[in-house]
Structure 1
């Protein structure tokens, strides 16, 4: 386990880098149903994590209170199911940017939930991010705002809200003491919940060879190692720096999607990305205590 503040902060930076590939790998796994994709990715990530925990002789850390399990599984499984659904139902670039309103939602929710002061700078940042989301919705996402696309946009915003609540609640006294190793258990439980949901709610499906590669990469990185790295960074590193750097993730993620031919950078998308990124940077550089701990 990383102990020095610098090493822990670098671990958090590695998590941000892995998350930049989340949208691209999820698109490469299409057309797998969202719950199936969520379950398989978490199964891979949880199994790898459990192997590391077992090798370290730390299996006892999986014994956590029910509230900790509900928070971990609900946040991980709920967020990724909504996020993968958004990428499947809406244009990926727009859905990806709407999902990445979560850093701004964390700023907004940190006040009432964790008692952190929201000054004018942070509120202005939230306003800019909200304007970016409204611009995307008003622009109609490449002219197809309706039907399945509307459901995809709703899922993207729901994903952002889910991760913001998960992140802010993680810093509360009843949840902050959970050890990093417990994440392996959360991943495996999330896999079980998602796969059960797939069996009950989605048509039967199974990955092909190319989809399996995407699933394995997802489970090893963005839906696996990244959770452990981020937990280390938040608990032992500099959360202010990591919170600021997190606002660059949606830009990197969007550029990767475009480079892979999964979208295009039209004027509306560029303007919306600038508003979301600018709002996040403005909120992150406010002088008051940072609410970044626990962000995703």
Structure 2
């Protein structure tokens, strides 16, 4: 596989993640932990099929349990936070805040040993966080006090995924097949937690079932495998820059389906987040 091919495969994950908010909204009223369990079971099953076809089971035995634990905690934690955030706050706003993770990846990587933050990093951070502030304050913060917990969880999503992506760079020798174990372990943990903390609720309509199936196949399935291939074998900086299109695509998908209105402030916030993250990426590329 060439570097260009791996990069193109990584791009597909960005497109799939842009549908995460739309499909999560469509899966209501399924509670977050139950949704986690079902979607990751589907994603893990896809991985097992791929491993069987490629004969990669032997490679899994050489992966440290610490790597499996890390991947499982990251995937379980991120999606629990994300699904819960979209239940507690307006989906467009929560999704945009969660999509601050590309910016955080750039900023946190600049703080690693041997790296330095540049003025564009700081400018990009300020622009992006100003965009996040716009969507939280849209219509007045006091009028949206009930949504603040959802906003907070969405920001924790951004922190979780940026941390996962950065640490994954140091685990480059771990095979992509290991992602299947992350998914299956996350499904088991989610199912156990669901039984103790939630009441089982299934979709009442056909579109609801289709949304769950689509989540498990795409944003909570194939996307993890293609992203892993992209960041380990492709152009990581190009992929990071392209990730900033995700919040724009996510918002456009919600608007196109009529879930949210195309308000000027919401669109401005989306472009500010994307523009701020892009400036930070340019600072990194200039090094």
Q: TM-score range by the shorter chain?
A: over 0.9
CA distance in 2, matches of 1:44, 1:114: 39
C-alpha distance in 1 between matches for 2:203 and 2:131: 35
Structure number having the greater helix percentage: 2
2:28 touches 2:203 (CA, 8 Å); kept in 1?
no
Within 5 A, what are the aligned runs for 1:87-98? 87-98=86-97
Q: Does the CA-based 8 Å contact 1:102-1:160 persist in structure 2?
A: yes
The equivalent residue for 1:202 is 198
Q: Structure 2 regions of 5+ residues with no counterpart?
A: none
CA 1:142–1:40 in structure 2 vs 1: closer, same or farther (change >3 Å)? Answer: farther
Deviations 1:54-85 (A, max 9, x none): 12111123332122112101111111111111
Unaligned runs of 5+ in 1: 291-296
Equivalent position SS for 1:221: helix
**Please, what TM-score do these two structures have when normalized by structure 1?**
0.91
Tell me how far 1:288 sits from its aligned partner: 4.7
Q: Which residue of 2 aligns with 1:101?
A: 100
Q: Pick closer, same or farther for the CA change 1:99–1:276 going to 2, 3 Å.
A: same
Q: Is the 8 A contact 2:68 2:182 kept in 1?
A: yes
- Give SS of 2:111's match: helix
Deviation for aligned residue 1:222: 0.9
Task: Name 2:178's counterpart in structure 1.
Answer: 182
Residues 124-181 of structure 1: CA deviation (Å, up to 9, x unaligned): 111111111122222257974112x111111111111111111111112xx2321111
**Cα separation, 1, equivalents of 2:135 and 2:118:** 26
RMSD (Å), alpha carbons: 1.8
Q: How many residues align?
A: 285
Q: Residue 119 of structure 1 contacts residue 288 of structure 1 at CA under 8 Å; is this kept in 2? A: no
User: How do residues 7-18 of structure 1 correspond to structure 2 at under 5 angstroms?
Assistant: 7-18=5-16
State the TM-score, normalizing by the size of structure 2: 0.94
What residue number does 2:261 align with? 264
